[in-house]
Structure 1
């Protein structure tokens, strides 16, 4: 018996939610690293700021994927939850 992968991931069922979550994560990461990015002028120094922004974004992405955090997002920031509330269209 072979396992078939149905399109049941929240990213497939709600692609715009995945986009909103990713944009939010990137904005927070860039905001946290923005002072470092602005203070730098050369490519090597700028690369550190960009690296920090990416690392922060990756951390936020990982934290948002924790079921307890996603459950809290569904209550406090429903537009960032992986899936819409029951009965809701967002």
Structure 2
């Protein structure tokens, strides 16, 4: 799998996890002011998952096709 494809898949997974965490806050209302907290939660969770997926401990548990290469991990 190409490195660019791997990065895209990882980003999509992280965004879906963030949106899933914020879904209870986003669904009840559709107005912008009421959903601002939900968007904040989604961004915070996605950022946390992104950071966690970059750690070597989590890398060991990821499938081989989703892991970052050793040279990519050193540059982060």
**Long gaps (5+) in structure 1:** 1-12, 84-90
Alpha-carbon separation, structure 2, partners of 1:50 and 1:43: 10
Query: Out of 21, 27, 39, which is 2:28 matched to?
Result: 39
Bigger share in helix: 2
Structure 2 length-normalised TM: 0.79
CA RMSD of aligned residues (A): 1.5
By relative contact order (CA 8 Å, sep 6+), the higher-ranking structure is: 2
1:72-83 residue pairs with structure 2 within 5 A? 72-73=61-62, 77-83=63-69
Query: Out of 10, 17, 23, which is 1:28 matched to?
Result: 17
Count of residue correspondences: 68
Structure 1 length-normalised TM: 0.68
Runs (4+) of structure 1 moved beyond 4 Å?
none
Question: 1:67 maps to what in 2?
Answer: 56
**Long gaps (5+) in structure 2:** 70-76
Deviations 1:39-78 (A, max 9, x none): 12321111111111011000000000001111221xxx33
Larger Rg computed on CA atoms: 1
